[in-house]
Structure 1
Amino acid sequence: MEVKTDTKEKFHVIRVETLNFTAIMAAELNRQLLELLKDNTKNVVVNLQGIANMEEEAAESLVRLQQKFYEEGASFVICNLQKNVESFLDEKELLEIMNVTPTESEAYDIVQMEEIERELLNGDDFDQ
Protein backbone atom coordinates (compact mmCIF):
# COMPACT_ATOMS: atom_id res chain seq x y z
CA MET A 1 0.00 0.00 0.00
CA GLU A 2 1.33 3.38 -0.95
CA VAL A 3 0.46 6.34 1.25
CA LYS A 4 1.38 9.90 0.37
CA THR A 5 1.34 12.57 3.05
CA ASP A 6 1.11 16.30 2.44
CA THR A 7 1.35 18.48 5.54
CA LYS A 8 -0.52 21.78 5.60
CA GLU A 9 -0.66 24.38 8.36
CA LYS A 10 -3.65 22.88 10.22
CA PHE A 11 -3.80 19.29 8.93
CA HIS A 12 -2.18 16.40 7.10
CA VAL A 13 -3.60 15.14 3.81
CA ILE A 14 -3.17 11.39 3.54
CA ARG A 15 -3.67 9.86 0.10
CA VAL A 16 -4.08 6.10 0.12
CA GLU A 17 -3.11 4.72 -3.24
CA THR A 18 -4.22 1.13 -3.60
CA LEU A 19 -7.13 -0.42 -5.47
CA ASN A 20 -8.17 -2.86 -2.75
CA PHE A 21 -8.18 -1.59 0.83
CA THR A 22 -7.85 -4.62 3.11
CA ALA A 23 -7.96 -5.05 6.88
CA ILE A 24 -4.18 -5.52 6.94
CA MET A 25 -3.71 -2.23 5.08
CA ALA A 26 -6.16 -0.51 7.42
CA ALA A 27 -4.15 -1.73 10.42
CA GLU A 28 -0.96 -0.27 8.90
CA LEU A 29 -2.72 3.02 8.10
CA ASN A 30 -4.11 3.07 11.63
CA ARG A 31 -0.60 2.70 13.08
CA GLN A 32 0.75 5.49 10.85
CA LEU A 33 -2.09 7.91 11.57
CA LEU A 34 -2.06 7.37 15.34
CA GLU A 35 1.53 8.63 15.25
CA LEU A 36 0.19 11.93 13.89
CA LEU A 37 -1.82 12.44 17.09
CA LYS A 38 1.55 13.07 18.80
CA ASP A 39 2.27 15.90 16.35
CA ASN A 40 1.34 19.57 16.85
CA THR A 41 -0.69 19.33 13.63
CA LYS A 42 -2.89 16.35 14.37
CA ASN A 43 -5.91 16.92 12.11
CA VAL A 44 -6.17 14.52 9.17
CA VAL A 45 -7.89 14.50 5.78
CA VAL A 46 -7.85 11.01 4.28
CA ASN A 47 -8.25 11.02 0.49
CA LEU A 48 -9.48 7.60 -0.65
CA GLN A 49 -9.90 8.47 -4.32
CA GLY A 50 -7.66 5.61 -5.46
CA ILE A 51 -9.56 2.89 -3.59
CA ALA A 52 -11.95 0.82 -5.72
CA ASN A 53 -12.82 -1.87 -3.15
CA MET A 54 -12.83 -1.97 0.63
CA GLU A 55 -13.16 -4.85 3.06
CA GLU A 56 -15.77 -4.42 5.78
CA GLU A 57 -13.15 -4.86 8.52
CA ALA A 58 -11.05 -2.10 6.92
CA ALA A 59 -14.06 0.22 6.86
CA GLU A 60 -14.80 -0.52 10.52
CA SER A 61 -11.17 0.25 11.32
CA LEU A 62 -11.55 3.68 9.70
CA VAL A 63 -14.62 4.36 11.86
CA ARG A 64 -12.70 3.44 15.04
CA LEU A 65 -9.75 5.56 13.93
CA GLN A 66 -12.04 8.53 13.30
CA GLN A 67 -13.52 8.14 16.79
CA LYS A 68 -10.03 8.04 18.32
CA PHE A 69 -9.08 11.29 16.56
CA TYR A 70 -12.20 13.06 17.83
CA GLU A 71 -11.61 11.74 21.36
CA GLU A 72 -8.15 13.34 21.17
CA GLY A 73 -9.56 16.69 20.02
CA ALA A 74 -8.48 16.31 16.40
CA SER A 75 -10.38 16.24 13.11
CA PHE A 76 -10.56 13.20 10.84
CA VAL A 77 -12.29 13.70 7.48
CA ILE A 78 -12.50 11.21 4.62
CA CYS A 79 -12.94 12.50 1.07
CA ASN A 80 -13.15 11.54 -2.59
CA LEU A 81 -14.82 8.15 -2.21
CA GLN A 82 -15.56 6.32 -5.44
CA LYS A 83 -19.27 5.63 -5.92
CA ASN A 84 -19.00 1.87 -5.37
CA VAL A 85 -17.04 2.36 -2.12
CA GLU A 86 -19.56 4.94 -0.95
CA SER A 87 -22.41 2.54 -1.76
CA PHE A 88 -20.64 -0.28 0.09
CA LEU A 89 -20.18 1.89 3.20
CA ASP A 90 -23.82 2.97 3.01
CA GLU A 91 -24.96 -0.64 2.67
CA LYS A 92 -22.93 -1.59 5.77
CA GLU A 93 -24.46 1.39 7.62
CA LEU A 94 -21.03 2.92 8.19
CA LEU A 95 -21.28 5.92 5.88
CA GLU A 96 -23.70 7.76 8.17
CA ILE A 97 -21.27 7.63 11.11
CA MET A 98 -18.21 8.63 9.08
CA ASN A 99 -17.18 12.22 8.46
CA VAL A 100 -17.15 12.11 4.64
CA THR A 101 -17.02 14.89 2.05
CA PRO A 102 -17.18 14.66 -1.75
CA THR A 103 -13.99 16.69 -2.30
CA GLU A 104 -10.70 17.46 -0.62
CA SER A 105 -11.56 21.16 -0.61
CA GLU A 106 -14.72 20.50 1.40
CA ALA A 107 -12.72 18.34 3.80
CA TYR A 108 -10.35 21.28 4.37
CA ASP A 109 -13.36 23.46 5.17
CA ILE A 110 -14.64 20.99 7.76
CA VAL A 111 -11.24 20.77 9.45
CA GLN A 112 -11.06 24.57 9.63
CA MET A 113 -14.60 24.86 11.03
CA GLU A 114 -13.89 22.17 13.64
CA GLU A 115 -10.66 23.95 14.61
CA ILE A 116 -12.60 27.19 15.17
CA GLU A 117 -15.24 25.31 17.16
CA ARG A 118 -12.59 23.71 19.39
CA GLU A 119 -10.92 27.09 19.94
CA LEU A 120 -14.24 28.61 20.96
CA LEU A 121 -15.10 25.70 23.27
CA ASN A 122 -11.66 25.74 24.88
CA GLY A 123 -11.43 29.53 25.11
CA ASP A 124 -11.96 31.61 28.19
CA ASP A 125 -15.27 31.22 29.95
CA PHE A 126 -17.52 34.16 29.40
CA ASP A 127 -19.08 35.97 32.35
CA GLN A 128 -22.81 35.50 32.42
Structure 2
Amino acid sequence: MKFSVDKHEKYVVFKLNEDKLNSIITPMLKSELILLNAEGFRNIILDLSEVKYSDSSGLSAILLGHRICKGSSDNEGTFVLATLNPPVQKLINISQLENVLNIVPTVDEAIDYVFMEEIERDLNNEAENLG
Protein backbone atom coordinates (compact mmCIF):
# COMPACT_ATOMS: atom_id res chain seq x y z
CA MET A 1 0.00 0.00 0.00
CA LYS A 2 1.36 3.38 -1.02
CA PHE A 3 0.55 6.33 1.20
CA SER A 4 1.96 9.46 2.82
CA VAL A 5 1.42 10.78 6.32
CA ASP A 6 1.71 14.46 7.22
CA LYS A 7 1.67 14.81 11.02
CA HIS A 8 0.82 18.06 12.79
CA GLU A 9 0.15 18.96 16.40
CA LYS A 10 -3.65 18.88 16.18
CA TYR A 11 -4.22 16.57 13.20
CA VAL A 12 -2.70 14.16 10.71
CA VAL A 13 -3.30 14.03 6.95
CA PHE A 14 -3.22 10.47 5.64
CA LYS A 15 -3.06 10.40 1.83
CA LEU A 16 -3.76 7.08 0.20
CA ASN A 17 -1.72 6.91 -3.01
CA GLU A 18 -3.64 4.02 -4.56
CA ASP A 19 -6.25 4.08 -7.30
CA LYS A 20 -8.33 1.30 -5.69
CA LEU A 21 -9.51 0.96 -2.11
CA ASN A 22 -10.44 -2.71 -2.04
CA SER A 23 -10.04 -5.86 0.06
CA ILE A 24 -6.30 -5.98 -0.73
CA ILE A 25 -5.64 -2.46 0.60
CA THR A 26 -8.26 -2.28 3.36
CA PRO A 27 -6.53 -4.35 6.09
CA MET A 28 -3.36 -2.24 5.78
CA LEU A 29 -5.34 1.02 5.81
CA LYS A 30 -7.23 -0.08 8.93
CA SER A 31 -3.93 -0.93 10.66
CA GLU A 32 -2.43 2.45 9.79
CA LEU A 33 -5.50 4.32 11.06
CA ILE A 34 -5.45 2.37 14.33
CA LEU A 35 -1.70 3.04 14.74
CA LEU A 36 -2.19 6.79 14.17
CA ASN A 37 -4.96 6.84 16.75
CA ALA A 38 -2.80 4.86 19.19
CA GLU A 39 -0.04 7.46 18.69
CA GLY A 40 -2.47 10.03 20.04
CA PHE A 41 -3.82 11.52 16.82
CA ARG A 42 -7.51 11.97 17.48
CA ASN A 43 -8.09 14.10 14.35
CA ILE A 44 -7.42 12.26 11.10
CA ILE A 45 -7.93 13.63 7.61
CA LEU A 46 -8.12 10.93 4.95
CA ASP A 47 -7.16 12.32 1.54
CA LEU A 48 -8.65 10.07 -1.12
CA SER A 49 -7.80 12.24 -4.14
CA GLU A 50 -5.94 9.36 -5.84
CA VAL A 51 -8.65 6.74 -5.19
CA LYS A 52 -10.82 6.16 -8.26
CA TYR A 53 -12.64 3.07 -6.94
CA SER A 54 -13.75 1.72 -3.59
CA ASP A 55 -15.71 -1.38 -2.68
CA SER A 56 -17.56 -2.24 0.52
CA SER A 57 -14.34 -3.25 2.30
CA GLY A 58 -12.97 0.23 1.60
CA LEU A 59 -16.12 1.65 3.10
CA SER A 60 -15.54 -0.45 6.22
CA ALA A 61 -12.05 1.06 6.59
CA ILE A 62 -13.54 4.55 6.30
CA LEU A 63 -16.14 3.71 8.96
CA LEU A 64 -13.40 2.33 11.24
CA GLY A 65 -11.54 5.64 10.93
CA HIS A 66 -14.73 7.49 11.81
CA ARG A 67 -15.35 5.24 14.82
CA ILE A 68 -11.83 5.39 16.30
CA CYS A 69 -11.69 9.18 16.02
CA LYS A 70 -15.09 9.57 17.63
CA GLY A 71 -13.72 7.69 20.66
CA SER A 72 -15.02 8.47 24.11
CA SER A 73 -16.36 11.88 25.07
CA ASP A 74 -13.14 12.83 26.92
CA ASN A 75 -10.97 11.83 23.95
CA GLU A 76 -13.27 12.74 21.09
CA GLY A 77 -11.72 13.57 17.76
CA THR A 78 -12.72 14.23 14.17
CA PHE A 79 -12.38 12.05 11.08
CA VAL A 80 -12.67 13.92 7.78
CA LEU A 81 -12.72 12.62 4.22
CA ALA A 82 -11.23 15.00 1.67
CA THR A 83 -11.09 15.19 -2.12
CA LEU A 84 -13.39 12.31 -3.00
CA ASN A 85 -13.65 11.25 -6.61
CA PRO A 86 -17.19 10.77 -7.99
CA PRO A 87 -17.22 6.92 -7.83
CA VAL A 88 -16.21 6.95 -4.14
CA GLN A 89 -18.72 9.72 -3.36
CA LYS A 90 -21.40 7.69 -5.15
CA LEU A 91 -20.66 4.60 -3.00
CA ILE A 92 -20.97 6.71 0.16
CA ASN A 93 -24.25 8.20 -1.10
CA ILE A 94 -25.67 4.78 -2.05
CA SER A 95 -24.74 3.56 1.45
CA GLN A 96 -26.52 6.64 2.88
CA LEU A 97 -23.43 7.65 4.85
CA GLU A 98 -23.05 11.20 3.51
CA ASN A 99 -24.79 12.53 6.64
CA VAL A 100 -22.75 10.34 9.00
CA LEU A 101 -19.27 11.05 7.63
CA ASN A 102 -17.53 14.43 7.49
CA ILE A 103 -16.82 15.04 3.80
CA VAL A 104 -15.18 18.18 2.41
CA PRO A 105 -13.90 19.06 -1.08
CA THR A 106 -10.25 19.84 -0.22
CA VAL A 107 -7.58 19.03 2.35
CA ASP A 108 -7.38 22.73 3.30
CA GLU A 109 -11.10 22.73 4.09
CA ALA A 110 -10.63 19.52 6.08
CA ILE A 111 -7.95 21.22 8.18
CA ASP A 112 -10.29 24.17 8.79
CA TYR A 113 -13.05 21.72 9.73
CA VAL A 114 -10.80 19.99 12.29
CA PHE A 115 -9.86 23.32 13.89
CA MET A 116 -13.52 24.40 14.07
CA GLU A 117 -14.42 21.10 15.74
CA GLU A 118 -11.54 21.53 18.22
CA ILE A 119 -12.74 25.05 19.13
CA GLU A 120 -16.30 23.77 19.59
CA ARG A 121 -15.11 20.92 21.86
CA ASP A 122 -13.02 23.37 23.93
CA LEU A 123 -16.00 25.69 24.35
CA ASN A 124 -18.28 22.79 25.33
CA ASN A 125 -15.72 21.59 27.89
CA GLU A 126 -15.43 25.09 29.37
CA ALA A 127 -19.22 25.33 29.60
CA GLU A 128 -19.41 21.96 31.34
CA ASN A 129 -16.69 22.96 33.82
CA LEU A 130 -18.49 26.23 34.63
CA GLY A 131 -21.91 24.64 34.94
- Structure 2 Cα separation of the partners of residues 55 and 75 of structure 1: 23
- Structure 2 Cα separation of the partners of residues 64 and 12 of structure 1: 16
Q: Which amino acid aligns with 1:126?
A: L
Deviation at 1:22, TM superposition (A): 0.8
| Structure 1: gaps (5+ residues) | none
Segments of 4+ moved more than 3 angstroms: none
Work out whether 1:93 is the aligned partner of 2:99.
no
Deviations 1:73-127 (A, max 9, x none): 1111010001121112212222332111011111011100111122222236225
* Paired position in structure 2 for 1:122: 125
Contact 1:78/1:101 (CA < 8 Å) preserved in 2? yes
* Paired position in structure 1 for 2:24: 24
Work out whether 1:70 is the aligned partner of 2:73.
no
2:87 corresponds, among 76, 84, 91, to: 84
Q: Which amino acid aligns with 1:61?
A: A
Q: 1:33 to 1:64 in 2, by over 3 A?
A: closer
Aligned residue pairs total: 127
CA-atom RMSD in angstroms? 1.7
* Paired position in structure 1 for 2:105: 102
Deviation at 1:9, TM superposition (A): 2.5
Q: 1:99 to 1:54 in 2, by over 3 A?
A: same
| Structure 2: gaps (5+ residues) | none
Question: Structure 1-normalised TM-score?
Answer: 0.88
Deviation at 1:26, TM superposition (A): 1.9
Q: Which amino acid aligns with 2:66?
A: Q
